[in-house]
Chains A and B, each alone.
Chain A
Amino acid sequence: MIANVTTEGQRRRRIVQRIAFALLALSTAFGFLALGVILYSMIANGASALSWEFLTTFPRKMMTEGGIYPALVGSFYLTVGAVLLSLPLAVASAIWLSEYSRGGLWVRMIRVGVNSLAGVPSIVFGLLGLAFFVKVLGFGVSLLSGALTLALLILPILIRAGEEALQAVPMNFREGALALGATKWHAVRTVVLPSAIPGILTGVILGISRAIGETAPIMFTAAAFYMSRLPETLSDKVMALPYHIFVMATESPNYYKTRNLQFGAALVLLGMVLLMNLGAVTWRARVRRRKQW
């Protein structure tokens, strides 16, 4: 009798477990499937557009022919500019939050603020950039305004990654430096910060991926519909890949003719994200080897 009840219970639990596992596996498969479908449709529709010429020439005939060279270069400038502008500010903020602030309401509010900033829709950043950088500061629709707007967008990502990286540095490194008569700042500069570089680079990777794909923040602040030359100064407008794809897909009178160009450009964008991330990941791996504790 008792034995029977036990087996019955065991059987039920085994079935429940199987169902749970199946559901979990299905969820994972779903995410993977979505990625696969996107990748497949991009490659199937866009691969034919890819060529050396596509990467290195300007668009022609109302964008129905030719390449994406200026958009590629523009996206690169915008992203690198955003990271260069954002990183010093983010590292400084992270150092203050992690090493100097003594907690309390004020600091908690700053943290909440930084985290909320990460959740603000990107179009809001675009409008802020338009109102502040383009109009108030008078930078106009330019590479500078776009890079600044994107810098603001990725700032919370970099601050959070930086703060986490600093927090992960063992306390006894700090104690060791202070016990030798180093000031707090000296300890941070020579021991804590160098140990946190890999984590900061993780933030940079996330920031690059975010900045390069955004359309809304650059739409009013930097992006040009079409340019017959590459941007030469910070006050030039730039073309950018995501905006270029958007324009080809929605604004062009011949959007159906550019279908494979749109997918090709999207593929290139994806490749660019991968390439820039690969660069940062390799750098991080090298730093980690030297700084591993």
Chain B
Amino acid sequence: MVGQESGTTTARSIDATRDWLERNLHSTSIIETERFSFFYGKEQALRDVSLGIPLDGVTAIMGPSGCGKSTLLRAFNRMNELYPNTRAEGTIRFLGQDLLKADAVAVRRHIGMVFQRPNPFPKSIFDNVAYGPRVHGLRNRAQIAELVEESLRRAALWDEVKDHLKKSALSLSGGQQQRLCIARALAVRPTVLLMDEPCSALDPKATDRIETTTRELAQELTVVIVTHNLQQAGRISDHVAVLLADGVLAEFGSTKTVFANPSNDQVADYLCGRFG
């Protein structure tokens, strides 16, 4: 993969990636899809989606239930293929390389993911965050500990858990568990962080903390978030993609423009809450 030099402990900075993209691809998009379609068996979930996820900022993927927004997000780290009978058409490029032909395990190391429901492993808080680095072969205890602290700080959880890192991750509250999952994803130093409705199982206060954390993280890496909460998309995203029924991309642009001035009537209806 490109960006292979961003090993477990030395991340390529977002500035370096920006330079690299401009120099080599004359582009500002870290992920680009071209006429991407996806099928579950005979059912088509996405139709000819072409878009570029900008390197900088938070990109929100929105749309009514069943429009394929999660499928699109999960295509970026090849999670869809865990289900049997799926098929993809078209291309997705990550840093210019064909993501669909790459090794899925390598892809997931560069493109991390936070799920809809917090899914910490039944292990200690420390072991949860250390899981990724250990998977990738980091054995040095001091380095692991350092990475765990750094990741927990970036996920704004360090102060709450620093005194009981050995406690089970399952003893944490839902919001804390989700921030732990963010820390766990950050510990492999991904270039892109995918978030699949990360707040849908959380209360407003916990949601607020995740949103703040997400904004901060967007300074250091690319964030793509699926949400069907219009206010949330408005609060945290810089760019927004709106998918409509049948998996068609109806609108893609800066959040301000799309919200103020949707070019498509159906999108306008959706944004006014008339359906979805």
Chain A, interface residues (CB within 8 Å), range:
20 to 34
* Mask of B103-147 contacts with A, CB within 8 angstroms, 1/0: 001101100110101011110000000011001100000000000
Q: Is B82 an interface residue (CB 8 A)?
A: yes
9 tightest Cβ-Cβ pairs between the two chains A and B: A181-B109, A172-B119, A180-B132, A179-B113, A181-B108, A176-B119, A182-B135, A291-B122, A293-B122
Q: How long is the Cα–Cα vector from A149 to B189 in the complex, in angstroms?
A: 52
Which A183-197 residues sit within 8 Å CB-CB of chain B? 183, 186, 190-191, 194-195
**Inter-chain pairs besides A172-B115, A181-B188, A195-B122, 11 sampled, C-beta below 8 Å:** A103-B84, A176-B119, A176-B120, A179-B108, A180-B131, A182-B135, A190-B131, A191-B121, A194-B122, A290-B168, A293-B122
Given contacts A170-B119, A195-B122, A293-B122, contact A177 B188 (CB under 8 A): no
Least distance between B107 CB and chain A CB atoms (Å): 8
- Contact partner of A181 (CB less than 8 A), chosen from B117, B121, B132, B170, is B132
A292 and B120 alpha carbons, distance in the complex (Å): 12
Asked if A292 and B185 make an inter-chain contact with CB atoms under 8 angstroms apart, the answer reads no
**Contact B188 A173, beta carbon cutoff 8 Å:** no
Residue B102 interfacial (CB < 8 Å): no
Tell me, in angstroms, the Cα distance from A181 to B136 when the chains sit together: 8
B122 touches A179 (CB 8 A): no
A102-B84, A190-B131, A292-B170 known; A179 and B121 CB under 8 Å?
no
**B122 engages A180 (CB within 8 Å):** no
- Chain A residues with CB under 8 Å of B108's CB are 178-181
CB of A53 within 8 A of chain B? Answer: no
For A190-231 the 0/1 string (1 means CB < 8 A from B) is: 110011000000000000000000000000000000000000
Contact A178 to B112, CB < 8 A, known contacts A173-B119, A186-B135? no
Bound Cα distance from A195 to B122, whole angstroms: 7
B184 within 8 A of A: yes
Interface status of A251 (Cβ within 8 A of chain B): no
Say yes or no: is A8 at the interface (Cβ < 8 Å to chain B): no
Could you say which residues of chain B place their CB within 8 Å of the CB of A170? 119
Q: Which residues of B contact A181 (CB under 8 A)?
A: 105-106, 108-109, 132, 135-136, 188
**Given that A181-B136, A182-B135, A183-B105 are contacting pairs, would A175 and B122 also be in contact in the complex, using a CB cutoff of 8 Å?**
no
A175–B135 touching, CB < 8 Å? no
Interface status of B79 (Cβ within 8 A of chain A): yes
List which A56-70 residues lie within 8 A (CB) of chain B. none
Residue of B109, B121, B131, B184 with most partner-chain A CB within 10 A: B121
B131 CB to nearest chain A CB (Å): 6
Bound-state CA distance A293–B118 (Å) is: 12
Return the contact of A293 from the options B84, B113, B136, B170 (Cβ within 8 A).
B170
Chain B residues within 8 Å of chain A by Cβ, number: 26
The chain B residue sitting closest to A103, CB to CB, is B84
Instruction: Return chain A residues, CB-CB under 8 Å to B131.
Output: 177, 180, 182, 190
Q: A180-B184, A290-B122 are in contact. Are A172 and B117 (CB under 8 A)?
A: yes
Chain A residues with CB under 8 Å of B132's CB are: 180-182
Cβ of B152 within 8 Å of any chain A Cβ, yes or no, is no
Smallest CB-CB separation from B136: which chain A residue? A181
Query: Which A152-184 residues have C-beta < 8 A from chain B?
Result: 170, 172-183
A175-B181 in contact (CB<8A): no
Query: In the complex, which residues of chain A have a beta carbon less than 8 angstroms from the beta carbon of B119?
Result: 170, 172-173, 175-176
**Which A residues touch B71, using CB under 8 A?**
none
Contacts of B121 in A (CB 8 A): 173, 176-177, 191
Q: Is B29 at the interface (CB under 8 A from chain A)?
A: no
Cβ distance B128 to chain A, nearest Cβ, rounded Å: 9
B77 at the interface (CB under 8 A from A): yes
> When chains A and B are docked, how far (Å) is the Cα of A172 from the Cα of B113?
12
Q: What residues of chain B lie closer than 8 Å to A180, measured between beta carbons?
A: 108-109, 112, 131-132, 135, 184-185, 188
Contact, CB under 8 Å: A179 / B79: yes
A66 to chain B, nearest CB (A): 51
Beta-carbon contacts of B87-111 to A below 8 Å, as 1s and 0s? 0000000000000000001101100
User: Complex formed: what's the CA distance from A174 to B181 in Å?
Assistant: 14
- Most central of A180, A182, A195, A290 by chain B CB within 10 Å: A180
Q: Mark A267-293, 1 if CB is under 8 A from B, else 0.
A: 000000000000000000000001111
Verify A175–B115 contact, CB threshold 8 A: yes
Distance A186 CA – B168 CA, assembled complex (angstroms): 21
For B169, give the chain A residue with the smallest CB separation. A293
- What 1/0 flags go to B40-78 for Cβ under 8 Å of A? 000000000000000000000000000000000000010
CB-CB under 8 A from A178, the residues of chain B are 79, 82, 108
Closest residue of B by beta carbon distance from A102: B84
CA distance A280 to B115 in the complex (A): 36
- Shortest distance between the CB of B12 and any CB in chain A (Å): 16
Report the bound CA distance from A293 to B77 in whole Å.
26
* B122 partner residues in chain A, CB cutoff 8 A: 173, 194-195, 290-293
